[in-house]
Structure 1
Amino acid sequence: MTSLNAAKFRLGLIINPLAGLGGSVALKGSDGVAAEALARGAEPKAPLRAAQALTALQPFANRVQIFTAAGELGERVASELGFDTQVLYSADAELTTAADTQAAVRALSAQSLDLLLFVGGDGTARDVYSVVSETQPVLGVPAGVKIHSGVYAITPHAAGRVLQMLINGELVSLMDADVMDIDEQAFRAGSVKAKRFGEMLVPAEPRYIQAVKMGGREVDELVLADIAADVIDNMEDELFIMGSGSTVAAIMDELGVDNTLLGVDLVQQRQLVASDLTAQQLLAACQAQATKLVITLIGGQGHILGRGNQQLTPALIRQIGKDNIIIVATKTKLKALEGRPLIVDSGDPELDAEMSGYYRIVTGYRDYVMYRVANPDLSE
């Protein structure tokens, strides 16, 4: 699938500029609520994440030709980074839709692409899957609130690393990976209903391509109760940010307070003080007092930041300090990673690198293991 040395690598690029808008403003997605997210002050992140991936290709710019769509759908980012860029599709409206993504895929697919790179979330992956050829290699750059699909790189920089390998002619195998998505209306109501829609062909690089998320609540209630008891015993007067996920939900259940399973809540003196906060609300609430953050990892993937908890912004993490982060997980979830490190994909590569190292993970009552946080794509 690589080009001959004399030919340029033919890269298709499609950015969903609305991907991930709902995350920081607690809308838990962007499907159908982009206008509301913008009205709440959300800022588009997908173009930045596209730029993070493509920056890795700048040393090879004379060996790459990018086929893309006009404006924010890809042209602006590719042109600003100095790539040879050809526009093949233009949207009719400023707020783009799934139909624009699909039309762009059709237009680009006629160019015999070596790889189609798309930037978005699970909804974007579904849109691409619905029209792309089953023989067309693709790769997703994660920019959505929820990333269940296995067609995405673990971070934007990881996507860049895969592209470097392809352009350099390294031997890269291909594999079929699942396209998954959830019902966002049910998601906002606190229920995760994931569905498999099919497969797309992606580079088979397990260091850089994420696994499909493990669904469902933890089944070992005794272990979760032990984890909850340990965290609760150590709750003092600080403000506690309670992240999303079923393991954190078990702590809230033990406290006997309402929990936003797919949002972020605040607890102080073991009482709920605020629910389902946005990024700006969290920054304001935590600015003047000592704060701890309780988070867990996504089963099967290992992400602790950047998947479903975009309310936890780089500014907030720096304000809290890495020493005040409490990671909770069952040993079953950790063992399922098969030695792969935990991953931070905050959108700020400098913070992601600063977060590397070994962390004490709460795995039971007074039971801890040391586990590594180290994005593979940033360690090379």
Structure 2
Amino acid sequence: MTVTLADVAARARVSPATVSRVLNGNYPVAAATRERVLKAVDELDYVLNATASSLAAATSDLVGILVNDIADPFFGIMAGAAQGAICESASGRAGGEKLAVVCNTGGSAERELTYLTLLQRQRAAAVVLTGGALEDPGHIAAVAAKLARLAEAGSRIVLCGRPALPGDASVAALAFDNRSGARRLTEHLLALGHRRIGYIAGPADRTTTRHRLEGHREAMAAAGLAGDAEGQERATLHGPYDRRCGYDAALELLRRDPELTAIVAANDTIALGACAALRDQGLRVPDDVSVAGFDDLPFSVDAVPGLTTVRLPLYEAGARAGRLAMGTEEPPPGGVATIAAELMVRGSTAGPRARP
């Protein structure tokens, strides 16, 4: 049922004229009243100009691409590819051009919901959400509700590198196989002979972090090296997906286990930070300690030594998400496609050697 301006007025205990003034910003309104109106708008999921839904062209020319951190190449590559595909797919009325806007959430759950609300009010033609999701039941439910309202209004919804929403085939999802990629990476180190392996994970509340850590631990368990829960936690450190996290965590892992022979990082940026910390401790990669990353970002092949990592086809996934957002590519069967990860073996990993 469509929420009306009168519904908002009743919830906020003001007149419809006051609601209109707040939303249009064309007349001064007391701060407390304004806050009450905006709260009612959010609670009721009110969309400006809701009567436009009866028109044939219900959506605008806006496409929103949500990223956690545009400065992170992981997100930048996907967003750029999606934006390019959206521009290339332009056709139809007035050329069909779309304004593809990148919305940087900074990893904030509140900001993510705010952007979705703004895109809903602008009647966005499509919304692309990239990267892992926050593992909070309340936030997951709130996002699902926002996306459902967007879809009902005619917006196409695409998840890129993000787990599918349970039971919602109307949302197209391109999910990376993070778990099996991480498992193969650790199996590679185990096959080289490593047994004392530290793991630097990303933020503990992200799906990507959990899936990659699960894959690592599955490989360790299969090799009989799972250990107890305390041992697993001792060999694992969490932090942001940045270089400083890799640097500090590598030093801490070495403090905990001076005989460590390998470090697995949850992404390539963390891995490079770990390599820098090892060098500063007078240790060589891979002679003394092997290091492996994840994602295969552009700088990984040029690192010295080249970084062993897991390649995710970020550009290809982003471009496909853009085509799905424009409706120029058919959604995958059941709405979900799993994108395989590929092990890339380079010079940063080798068999363990006894230290003098």
Same fold (TM over 0.5): no
Q: Which TM-score band (shorter chain)?
A: 0.3 to 0.5
Q: Whose helix fraction is larger, Structure 1's or Structure 2's? A: 2
Q: TM-score, normalised by structure 2?
A: 0.40
Higher Cα Rg, which structure: 2
Q: Whose strand fraction is larger, Structure 1's or Structure 2's? A: 1
- Where relative contact order (Cα < 8 A, 6+ residues apart) is larger, the structure is 2
